[in-house]
Amino acid sequence: MGLSIDWTEYENLSDREEYDAVGQLIDQVKALVAAHRAEVVHRMTRQQEDKEVAAILGISRQRVGQLRVRHEQSMNNLTMDYGSWGTYSDGSSRTLPAYIEEVLGAQGDLNLGDFDTDAIAEEYRAAINSALPEGISLSGSTFHGPVPMADGIRDEIRGVVAAVDLWEIIARHDQNA
């Protein structure tokens, strides 16, 4: 059994963002473990009666039925991590807020303090989410979507990120304008 977490994806987050991201990670791990447990029950019930599975696992027949149904439903709602912001943007930053600061910092004549970067990140994320294909979302600095990942979807996500006009959003949040 292996679980691998790329902690470098969390390095450029604020303490609050990191706290929230790790909380989401905990929720994802719990959901994955619960889904696998339900899959085990589902697999067993394909070969044995619910009563036998309940006896083997030491749970009620009702619980066996609940887990089997949960597995069947989860197969229709299963999502996965499609990668972090850095996978899809043209910058070197791993998070969306860091990318915005990178873009603004690359313009030598701009003062970062003149911009509401939190509002820019929120609006930029919302614009990207509204342009993404159905079922795919940018949550925090990570893209999520259905399992299995469709062929060509990474290129489609890159295209959406490139197409949303960040500078138009930045202009709306210039506190000196």
Does any domain span residue 2? no
pLDDT (tens digit, 9 = 90+) per residue, 113-141? 889 999 999 999 999 999 999 889 999 89
Residue-wise pLDDT for 136-170, tens only, equals 999 989 999 887 788 999 999 999 999 999 999 99
Distance (Å, whole) CA 177 – CA 154 = 36
Instruction: Say whether both 129 and 88 belong to one domain.
Output: yes
Q: Which of 77, 102, 130 is the last residue of a domain?
A: 77
Residues 138 and 95 placed together within one structural domain of the fold: yes
Residue 164 placed within a domain: yes
Q: Same domain for 45 and 96?
A: no
Tell me, yes or no, whether 88 and 164 share the same domain. Answer: yes
Domain count, the chain: 2
Q: What is the pLDDT confidence band of residue 172, given thresholds at 50, 70 and 90?
A: very high
Band (pLDDT 50/70/90 cuts) for residue 77 is: low
Q: Are 137 and 143 in contact (CB under 8 A)?
A: yes
Is the residue at 32 inside a domain? yes
In a shared domain, residues 38 and 70: yes
C-beta neighbour count of 91 within 10 angstroms: 15
Strand partners for 145: 80
Whether residue 6 lies inside any domain: the answer is no
Q: Is 131 helix (H, G, I), strand (E, B) or coil?
A: helix
Its domain, for residue 126, covers 79-172
